[in-house]
């Protein structure tokens, strides 16, 4: 878990980078930017708000040979050793970003390199480095008063409510490639930011494993449970799966299978599906791992617990008490109407 509300900006460098393939240049500032008391909280919110609102999907620097050959990892490590040198290193970061701007769709923009203190991650206060880029400019009106006349004129600027691209590098797990968060609002050039510039891959921690295993379960429910049984059982399987993760701190696969899979005939299907689909989810040898509660909460929000019928009727099942569906919802076949039906038992209608 992260907490960014107490973060403090200790250094801010602003440069500009163009599109190299379009023969645009870059501009490097001689000194750090000194924001005043009015601008500082606004720009800090501009940088950090997207990370508070986004699911925590961590990345890490990666290199096919060794991290010592990773350009950004090397620069970031030097900054963490001597934070007072960040401005000079920020110029090299900007040049590195410029060298990756090799697609005609990549937009020019301002680059902000920031040193933060008091970033909280996993209940520990650490320093961090932020690399942000603003690309999209918006029109806005400015007004002036002259004698007895109001005048309006058009200007362009950056919308502080939307960060185009950004990454937060936390000073933890250096040897593994640090823990990194990234946001990218402009999806047309994602490979440019994540792969070409940052050079990162997903960090395979408890958050990663929890998300991947639950996604695997969701696809198993859709591809195997639904065809073998029905929509109700698909929903109930995912109910049981999510609740199992929610009530445990550690995942153990055999316990999970025994508690979650009601139909014994589906157990070999589950194991076969896992073997077949493992490369997609990177869980081939994954049978035990710590469970990340925030990943379970995020997954619960995404999983649909609604049965949609072709008669324009929806049945919503309770994720918290799935046993109610077992007790009070029955599926059957009406010979006369030649239609399926759901029979729902209840004592009284609850007020909305």
Averaged pLDDT of the chain: 90
Q: Looking at the structure, do residues 53 and 88 belong to the same domain, yes or no?
A: yes
Give the chain's end-to-end CA distance (angstroms, integer): 34
- The residue from 203, 219, 244 where one domain ends is 203
Residues 186 and 106 in one domain: yes
What is the spatial distance between Cα 107 and Cα 310, in angstroms, rounded to a whole number? 46
Q: Do residue 174 and residue 219 come from a single domain? A: no
Rounded to an integer, what distance in angstroms lies between the CA atom of residue 113 and that of residue 91?
9
**Rounded to an integer, what is the distance from CA 169 to the centroid of its chain?**
15
Q: How many domains does the chain have?
A: 2
**pLDDT at residue 295 in the model:** 87
Choose the final residue of a domain: 151, 179, 203.
203
Given 157, 186, 203, the domain boundary residue is 203
Q: How do residues 15-70 score in pLDDT, each as one tens digit?
A: 999 999 999 999 999 999 999 999 999 999 999 999 987 777 899 999 989 999 99
Domain assignment present for residue 27? The answer is yes
pLDDT digits (tens, 9 = 90+) for 109-127: 999 999 999 999 988 999 9
User: What's the CA angle centered on 300, arms 260 and 329, to 5 degrees?
Assistant: 60
Residue 90: pLDDT over 90:
yes
Same domain membership, residue 215 and residue 249: yes
pLDDT of residue 221: 93
pTM flag (> 0.75): yes
Do 13 and 93 have their domain in common?
yes
Instruction: Let me know whether 115 and 233 are in one domain.
Output: no
185 with 307, same domain: the answer is no
- Residue 15 belongs to what domain range? 2-203
């Amino acid at each position: 878990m992260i907490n960014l509300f107490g973060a403090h900006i200790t250094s801010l460098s602003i440069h500009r980078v163009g599109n190299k393939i379009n023969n645009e240049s870059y501009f490097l500032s001689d000194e750090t930017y000194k924001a005043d008391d009015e601008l500082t909280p606004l720009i800090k919110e501009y940088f950090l708000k997207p990370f508070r609102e986004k699911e925590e999907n961590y990345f890490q620097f990666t290199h096919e040979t060794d991290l010592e050959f990773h350009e950004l990892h090397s620069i970031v490590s030097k900054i963490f050793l001597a934070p007072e040198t960040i401005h000079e290193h920020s110029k090299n970061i900007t040049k590195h970003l410029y060298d990756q701007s090799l697609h005609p769709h990549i937009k020019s923009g301002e680059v902000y390199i920031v040193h933060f203190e008091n970033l909280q991650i996993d209940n520990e206060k650490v320093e961090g480095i932020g690399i942000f880029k603003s690309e999209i400019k918006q029109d806005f009106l400015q007004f002036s008063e002259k004698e007895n006349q109001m005048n309006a004129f058009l200007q362009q600027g950056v919308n502080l409510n939307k960060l185009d691209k950004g990454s937060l590098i936390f000073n933890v797990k250096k040897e593994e490639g640090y823990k990194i968060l990234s946001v990218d609002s402009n999806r047309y050039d994602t490979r440019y930011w994540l792969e070409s510039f940052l050079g990162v891959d997903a960090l395979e921690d408890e958050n990663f494993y929890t998300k991947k295993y639950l996604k695997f379960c969701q696809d198993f429910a859709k591809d195997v449970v639904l065809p073998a049984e029905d929509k109700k059982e698909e929903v109930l399987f995912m109910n049981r799966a999510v609740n199992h993760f929610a009530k445990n701190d550690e995942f153990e696969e055999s316990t999970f299978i025994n508690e979650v899979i009601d139909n014994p005939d589906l157990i070999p299907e589950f194991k076969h599906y896992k073997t077949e689909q493992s490369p997609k989810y990177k869980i081939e040898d994954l049978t035990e791992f710590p469970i990340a509660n925030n990943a379970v909460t995020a997954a619960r929000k995404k999983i649909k617990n609604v049965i949609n019928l072709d008669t324009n009727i929806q049945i919503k099942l309770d994720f918290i008490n799935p046993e109610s569906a077992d007790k009070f919802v029955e599926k059957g076949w009406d010979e006369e109407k030649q239609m399926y039906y759901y029979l729902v038992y209840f004592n009284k209608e609850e007020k909305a």
